Amino acid sequence: MADVDALYPMQSAPVTHLTGDIAEELYADTTSLWEKLCDNIARSREDMMSALDRMQWKFKRIMPGGIV
């Protein structure tokens, strides 16, 4: 998976563009993880935790203050 900071430097793109792209990536990651869980093909606990950590990091980029 590509590094978001490398793909979207904060200085060169408007925030709304970044938020939309990160939200799309977050949705795709969540869908992929859910499908793996439903199909029982998740590889290891470490892989699952790594995927969840990436999704949490992306969510924090979109919602820095969290959900109110």
**Residue-range domain boundaries for the chain:** 14-62
pLDDT at 57: 86
pLDDT at 6: 57
**Residues with pLDDT less than 70, the chain:** 1-18, 42, 65-68
d(CA 60, CA 54): 10
pLDDT at 15: 52
pLDDT at 44: 77
Scan for tokens 């290891």, then name that residue. Answer: 44
Half-sphere CA count of 7, side-chain side, radius 13 A = 9
Beta strands in the chain (DSSP E): none
Specify burial of residue 39 (Cβ count, 10 A radius: 0-12, 13-18, 19+).
Answer: exposed
Token pair, residue 25, equals: 């990536």
pLDDT at 16: 58
